[in-house]
Amino acid sequence: MDDARALLTAADRIEQLAARSTPGDWRTAGLLASRPEVVAHRPDGGREHVAEARSASGTWITAFSPALAGPLADLLRTAAARPEPEPTAVALARTLLDRLPTLGE
């Protein structure tokens, strides 16, 4: 996959994932609701359920809510339109593609 295609594919997947997520500007409110099991894999090899690590992960989750999807996708598409995309934008896109699910295929 060339750099421009990686940028465009990452942008598309971010928007698709955001569209499937609860919309809005996520903020922590202290409500503990029914949730899927999510496990954080730490660099030291340990694991922790995200629900148990809520105080450490809540800010991260809310900071990267679906509200960021549009601006981030725009950034990736702008980078893709350049004759030689910025290497850091390409690295971001490729990292996202390693982590983002392929939706709707």
Whole-prediction pTM: 0.66
3-class secondary structure, 64: coil
Confidence at residue 27, expressed as pLDDT on a 0 to 100 scale: 55
Q: Which segments of the chain are extended strands (E)?
A: 39-41, 47-49
Mean pLDDT of 30-55: 64
Q: Kindly report, residue by residue over 44-75, the tens digit of the pLDDT.
A: 887 766 666 566 666 667 777 888 899 999 99
Confidence at residue 29, expressed as pLDDT on a 0 to 100 scale: 47
The DSSP-derived string for 36-49 is: ---EEE-TTS-EEE
| Ranges of each domain in the chain | 3-21+35-99
- Identify which of 37-41, 88-92, 100-104 has the greatest average pLDDT: 88-92
Calculate the alpha carbon distances from 25 to 16, 55, 69, 81 in Å. Answer: 17, 18, 11, 28
